Structure 1
């Protein structure tokens, strides 16, 4: 099996693991506390193990699959493109520093989580209104409430926790020479 084929297979496997977390999470109220860090860890692991490009691919597919599985509230469907972009920002920031030393990996996670949070926060509080994505009436009120509950500070927290988990796993993988450094 070629090196590229192995990376693609690993990316597919990591995406499948993200689906499992999303599927499990849909059965629990307020599962963002569990699913968010798990999926963010998978996004970072995808970038490290498979390369930044395939990591971005995993990050783009995870919100789509969350919607299809019912993990993402259907009312938030119009916000999926913003989550895709937020995930890409998260992965790209980490990808810039992933082959450096462990301290830069931690710094990369912090910067990535802050930038993802900032993008999603501004998107949830400003852009959706400017782009007239908010439904009218009671649905619009519920839409805004859901956005504020899930796409603001919780994104920073889940990004930091998931990134920390991923960097710890990466350290273990490096220490045990389980994967080549990309």
Structure 2
């Protein structure tokens, strides 16, 4: 199988796994604790096994599919572009350090999680209000509360946990020779 086809297949498989986690998570209250780390781990795994570009593509599709599946609260629909950018930043930060050894992989996870958190926190608390994209009145107040609850500190926590899970999985796959040392 050609490398491009192999990478695309891996990215598609990982996206399908993310969809499964999102589908399962929509049936649990406060599922961000479960779904967030799983999806972040999948983003990192996608970048590692398929390349940074395809990892970013998985990061683009995961919030769109979360919205379509009902995993993402419909009131947060206007925030999807920000989640996409946050995911892209997360994957890109890790992608820049992914082949530089285990220490830099972990450093990449920390940097990626902090950058994603900082962007989503700023977007949720300042940018959406400056752009005036949230609904007015009571719905807007509820959307603001939802953003504060899900797009601030929890993003840092789920980014770190998901990244650590991904690096552990990558190490196991390498040790068992499922992945090349790339």
Same fold by TM-score greater than 0.5: yes
Q: Residue 163 of structure 2 aligns with which residue?
A: 163
Deviation above 3 Å: which 4+ runs of structure 1?
A: none
**Distance across 2 between alignment mates of 1:66 and 1:57:** 14
**2:67 maps to 1:63:** no
How far residue 173 of structure 1 moved from its aligned partner, in angstroms, is 1.4
How far residue 181 of structure 1 moved from its aligned partner, in angstroms, is 3.2
**Distance across 2 between alignment mates of 1:145 and 1:49:** 36
> 1:112-151 alignment to 2 at 5 Å?
112-151=112-151
Q: Residue 28 of structure 2 aligns with which residue?
A: 28
Corresponding residue SS for 2:72: coil
Note the alpha carbon deviations across 1:115-149, whole angstroms, 9 max, x for none: 00000000000000110112100011001000000
How far residue 177 of structure 1 moved from its aligned partner, in angstroms, is 1.6
> 1:6-21 alignment to 2 at 5 Å?
6-21=6-21
Structure 1 gaps, min length 5: none
**Distance across 1 between alignment mates of 2:6 and 2:60:** 20
What's the TM-score, normalizing by structure 2? 0.99
**Distance across 2 between alignment mates of 1:85 and 1:54:** 14
> 1:49-128 alignment to 2 at 5 Å?
49-128=49-128
Q: Residue 153 of structure 1 aligns with which residue?
A: 153
Q: Residue 39 of structure 1 aligns with which residue?
A: 39
Aligned residues: 182
Corresponding residue SS for 2:12: helix
**Distance across 2 between alignment mates of 1:6 and 1:161:** 27
**Distance across 1 between alignment mates of 2:33 and 2:83:** 17
Note the alpha carbon deviations across 1:42-85, whole angstroms, 9 max, x for none: 00000000000000000000000000000000000000000000
What's the RMSD between the two structures over aligned residues?
Answer: 0.6
**Distance across 2 between alignment mates of 1:111 and 1:118:** 10
